[in-house]
């Protein structure tokens, strides 16, 4: 859907009384290409901000009421006082928006009442960080409405606080950093412990494709928090023999080989994924600096294999899509994106091979899984912006 159509839908959602005074903001979604499940383990990640995301219309009210509407959830409008915002208040779609407003008010003081309307051109609950896109656009909008000169790092922490504390998902800061630090034409290399960042250009002649498996995923109620807990337990076990460890990203192969036997098999698999993914992310970053897209693609596919076998967050449908994708001439690599447990894969495809890629992958997926795949082509996008 073209941006003009999206903005028309957004205005239709707004109360007539607030349309004239509304300001409109945008924040992208994201796909993670390397560094899977490293954010909460202190490692480096390599996400990309996407050229589609979430649009938010905001109009102040004279009271302390919030009015929340979304084109993705028609008939589920919510109105409540700002004073009623509290962590875990709801599991509805509004939780991410509420959480962002709650975090901003905690940090910056009282907000006015607000009429808020959302529309997105990003598949929801598919591993493209539609929830963090909502959080980030709301934090960015609050900063602008309050006239604050806010650094991206502060907004990253506020949006992350909304997800961790208000919604209750124990994620790291990958999603919020990818969205708030996005740069057109570039991937982001972001160290989740040190908060350092480097923007690396996507080599010319390559396209990003997201292929939707059609399998719904619910991150807050999935095995995601279980994986975080497993990594926490593994770290505590290894700290008994290596007290200087602060996070799993500090574990190298030598330490794992010497002391891995003290871990339960499932915990050892989780650590083996982290160790390997740290190495793959470093190799992938070096490949991008040298313009070696094929090597970067191989690291993506190797990451999927590890997510399937060691971290155990893939599904048969995601595996089928990756296998079909990498079998196509012109596809450099593919892996599940997001936390897993359903959703989408992301692939790196040579420009000009798009039609052949779609035809081959759709046919293979249909024959193997009896499902229809949905294809979304993206360019690396920029961060949040006020657009009207």
The tokens for 317 are 């449908």
Closest CA to 321 of 378, 355, 362, 359: 362
Tell whether the model's pLDDT for residue 315 goes beyond 90: yes
Percent of the chain with pLDDT strictly greater than 90: 85
Model pLDDT, residue 333: 98
Instruction: Label residue 122 by pLDDT band (50, 70, 90).
Output: confident
Overall average pLDDT of the 213-231 stretch: 80
Instruction: Label residue 362 by pLDDT band (50, 70, 90).
Output: very high
pLDDT digits (tens, 9 = 90+) for 267-312: 999 999 999 999 999 999 999 999 999 999 999 999 999 999 999 9
* Sequence spans of domains, the chain: 3-202
Whole-number average pLDDT of the chain: 94
Tell whether the model's pLDDT for residue 316 goes beyond 60: yes
Model pLDDT, residue 7: 84
pLDDT digits (tens, 9 = 90+) for 155-188: 999 999 999 999 998 888 999 999 999 999 999 9
Q: Residue 110 in contact with residue 177, Cβ under 8 Å?
A: no
Tell whether the model's pLDDT for residue 201 goes beyond 60: yes
**Cα–Cα distance for residue pair 305/315, rounded to 1 Å:** 12
**pTM to 2 decimal places:** 0.93
Q: Residue 334 in contact with residue 321, Cβ under 8 Å?
A: yes
Q: Which residues sit opposite 188 in a β-bridge?
A: 199
Model pLDDT, residue 220: 43
**Cα–Cα distance for residue pair 235/365, rounded to 1 Å:** 38
Do the bridges between strand 197-201 and strand 114-120 make them parallel or antiparallel, or are there none, so unpaired?
unpaired
Q: Residue 292 in contact with residue 204, Cβ under 8 Å?
A: no
Instruction: Label residue 19 by pLDDT band (50, 70, 90).
Output: confident
Q: Residue 157 in contact with residue 354, Cβ under 8 Å?
A: no
Three-state SS for 158? helix
**Cα–Cα distance for residue pair 361/366, rounded to 1 Å:** 8
Overall average pLDDT of the 227-254 stretch: 97
Instruction: Label residue 221 by pLDDT band (50, 70, 90).
Output: low
Closest CA to 301 of 270, 275, 282, 327: 327
Model pLDDT, residue 372: 97
Model pLDDT, residue 274: 98
Tell whether the model's pLDDT for residue 2 goes beyond 90: no
Please identify every residue annotated as catalytic: 175
CA 196 to chain centre: 18
Overall average pLDDT of the 190-197 stretch: 95
Instruction: Label residue 219 by pLDDT band (50, 70, 90).
Output: low
Overall average pLDDT of the 48-75 stretch: 94
DSSP class per residue in 276-304: HHHHHHHHHHHHHHTT-HHHHHHHHHHHH
**Cα–Cα distance for residue pair 147/162, rounded to 1 Å:** 21
* Tally of residues, the chain: 388
Overall average pLDDT of the 339-355 stretch: 94
**Cα–Cα distance for residue pair 25/29, rounded to 1 Å:** 14
Tell whether the model's pLDDT for residue 217 goes beyond 80: no
**Cα–Cα distance for residue pair 387/25, rounded to 1 Å:** 6
CATH, range 3-202: 3.30.230.10
Tell whether the model's pLDDT for residue 126 goes beyond 80: no
**Cα–Cα distance for residue pair 74/98, rounded to 1 Å:** 18
| Lowest pLDDT segment from 7-11, 73-77, 377-381 | 7-11
The tokens for 9 are 């839908």
Q: Residue 275 in contact with residue 296, Cβ under 8 Å?
A: no
Higher pLDDT, 27 or 75: 27
Instruction: Label residue 236 by pLDDT band (50, 70, 90).
Output: very high
């Amino acid at each position: 859907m073209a941006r003009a159509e999206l903005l028309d839908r957004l205005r239709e959602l707004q109360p007539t009384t607030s349309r004239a005074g509304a300001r409109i903001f945008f924040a992208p979604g994201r796909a993670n290409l390397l560094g899977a499940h490293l954010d909460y383990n202190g490692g480096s990640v390599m996400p990309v901000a996407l050229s589609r995301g979430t649009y938010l219309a905001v109009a102040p009210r004279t009271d302390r009421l919030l009015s929340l509407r979304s084109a993705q959830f028609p008939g589920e409008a919510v109105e409540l006082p700002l004073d009623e915002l509290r962590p875990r208040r709801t599991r509805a779609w509004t939780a991410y928006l509420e959480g962002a407003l709650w975090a901003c008010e905690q940090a910056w003081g009282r907000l006015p009442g607000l009429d808020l309307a959302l529309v997105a051109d990003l598949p929801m609950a598919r591993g493209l960080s539609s929830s963090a896109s909502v959080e980030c656009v709301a934090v960015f909008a609050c900063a602008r409405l309050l006239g604050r000169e806010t650094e991206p790092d502060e907004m990253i922490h506020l949006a992350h606080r909304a997800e961790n504390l208000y919604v209750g998902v124990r994620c790291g800061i990958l999603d919020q950093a990818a969205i708030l630090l996005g740069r057109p034409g570039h991937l982001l290399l972001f160290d989740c412990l040190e908060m350092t960042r480097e923007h690396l250009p996507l080599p010319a002649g390559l396209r990003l494709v997201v292929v939707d498996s059609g399998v719904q995923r619910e991150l807050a109620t999935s095995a995601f928090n279980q994986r975080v807990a497993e990594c926490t337990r593994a770290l505590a076990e290894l700290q008994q023999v290596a007290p200087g460890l602060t996070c799993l990203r500090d574990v190298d192969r030598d330490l794992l080989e010497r002391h891995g036997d003290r871990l339960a098999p499932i915990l050892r698999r989780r650590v083996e994924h982290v160790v390997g993914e740290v190495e793959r992310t470093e190799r992938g970053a070096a490949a991008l600096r040298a313009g070696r897209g094929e090597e970067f693609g191989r690291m993506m596919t190797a990451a999927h294999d590890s997510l399937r076998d060691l971290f155990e967050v893939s599904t048969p449908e995601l595996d089928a899509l990756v296998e079909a994708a990498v079998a196509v001439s012109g596809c450099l690599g593919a892996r599940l994106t997001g936390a897993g447990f359903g959703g989408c894969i992301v692939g790196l495809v040579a420009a000009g091979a798009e039609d052949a890629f779609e035809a081959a992958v759709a046919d293979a997926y249909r024959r193997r899984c009896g499902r229809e795949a949905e294809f979304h082509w993206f360019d690396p996008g920029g961060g949040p912006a006020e657009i009207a």
